[in-house]
Structure 1
Amino acid sequence: MKTVLVTGAGGFIGKNLCATLEQRKDIEILRYGRNNTREELADYTARADFVFHLAGVNRPRNVEDFDKGNRGFTEELLELLEISGKKAPVVITSSIQAVLDNHYGVSKKAAEDAVFEWSRRNGTPVYVYRLPNVFGKWCRPNYNSVVATFCHNIAHGLPVQINNPATEITLVYVDDVVAELIAAMDGLAHIGDDGFCYVPRTFKVTLQKLADTIYSFAESRKNLVMPNFEGDFERFLYATYTSYLPEDGFGYELEMKHDNRGWLAEFIKSRQFGQIFISRTKPGITRGNHWHHTKIEKFLVVEGEAVIKFKKIGTDEVLEYKVSGEQLKVIDIPAGYTHSITNVGTTDVITLFWANEIFNPDKPDTYYLEV
Structure 2
Amino acid sequence: MDIVVTGANGFLGRHLVHALERAGHLVLPITRSTSSVERSSYLRRADAVYHVAGVNRPERVEEFTTGNVDLTEAIATELLSYNPVPVFFASSIQATQDNPYGNSKREAEDILRLYGQRSGAPVHIYRLPNLFGKWGRPFYNSAVTTFCYQIARGEEITVTHPNHVLTLAHVDDVVASFIETLHKTESTNPDVPTHQITLFDLARMIESFEAVRMARGVPDVSDPFTKKLYSTYLSYLPKERMVTPLLMHQDVRGSFTELFKTPDRGQVSVNVAKPGITKGEHWHESKHEQFIVVSGEGVIRLRLMDQDQIISFHVSEEQLEVIEIPPGYVHHIENTGVKDLVTVMWVNEPFDASQPDTYRATVAQDAEVS
Q: State the TM bucket, normalised to the shorter chain.
A: over 0.9
Residue type of the alignment partner of 1:341 = I
Provide structure 1 residue ranges, at least 5 long, that are not aligned to the other structure: none
Residue type of the alignment partner of 2:163 = A
1:180-200 superposed Cα distances (whole Å, 9 cap, x missing partner): 112222107894xxxx3322x
| Runs of 4+ deviating beyond 6 Å | none
CA contact (8 A) 1:53 1:91 kept: yes
**Structure 2: distance between partners of 1:250 and 1:257:** 22
Residue type of the alignment partner of 1:17 = L
Give how far 1:361 is off. Answer: 0.8
Give 3-state SS (helix, strand or coil) of 1:14's partner: helix
Provide structure 2 residue ranges, at least 5 long, that are not aligned to the other structure: 364-370
CA contact (8 A) 1:189 1:197 kept: no
**Structure 2: distance between partners of 1:224 and 1:249:** 13
**Which among 29, 32, 35 is matched to residue 37 of structure 1?**
35
**Which among 70, 81, 92 is matched to residue 83 of structure 1?**
81
**Structure 2: distance between partners of 1:58 and 1:320:** 66
Q: 1:165 to 1:339 in 2, by over 3 A?
A: same
Residue type of the alignment partner of 2:37 = E
Give how far 1:264 is off. Answer: 0.8
**Structure 2: distance between partners of 1:81 and 1:11:** 23
Aligned ranges for residues 234-245 of structure 1 at < 5 Å?
234-245=226-237
**Structure 2: distance between partners of 1:321 and 1:21:** 48
Aligned ranges for residues 141-156 of structure 1 at < 5 Å?
141-156=138-153
Match of 2:21 in 1: 22
**Structure 1: distance between partners of 2:67 and 2:173:** 26
Give 3-state SS (helix, strand or coil) of 2:22's partner: coil
Give 3-state SS (helix, strand or coil) of 2:26's partner: strand
Match of 1:179 in 2: 176
Aligned ranges for residues 215-226 of structure 1 at < 5 Å?
215-226=207-218
Give 3-state SS (helix, strand or coil) of 1:13's partner: helix
Match of 2:57 in 1: 59
**Structure 2: distance between partners of 1:135 and 1:189:** 29
Residue type of the alignment partner of 1:165 = P
**Structure 2: distance between partners of 1:270 and 1:190:** 45
CA contact (8 A) 1:221 1:252 kept: no
Give 3-state SS (helix, strand or coil) of 1:106's partner: helix
**Structure 1: distance between partners of 2:61 and 2:333:** 71
CA contact (8 A) 1:183 1:189 kept: no
Match of 1:277 in 2: 269
**Which among 191, 201, 204 is matched to residue 198 of structure 1?**
191
Match of 1:112 in 2: 109
Give 3-state SS (helix, strand or coil) of 1:351's partner: strand
Give 3-state SS (helix, strand or coil) of 2:50's partner: strand
- What is the CA RMSD across the aligned residues, in angstroms? 1.8
Aligned ranges for residues 253-292 of structure 1 at < 5 Å?
253-292=245-284
CA contact (8 A) 2:124 2:187 kept: no
Residue type of the alignment partner of 1:78 = A
Aligned ranges for residues 200-349 of structure 1 at < 5 Å?
201-349=193-341
**Structure 1: distance between partners of 2:247 and 2:186:** 50
Give how far 1:211 is off. Answer: 2.0
1:367 aligns with 2:359: yes
1:139 aligns with 2:136: yes
Q: 1:127 to 1:321 in 2, by over 3 A?
A: closer
**Structure 1: distance between partners of 2:160 and 2:169:** 22
TM-score, normalising length: structure 2:
0.93
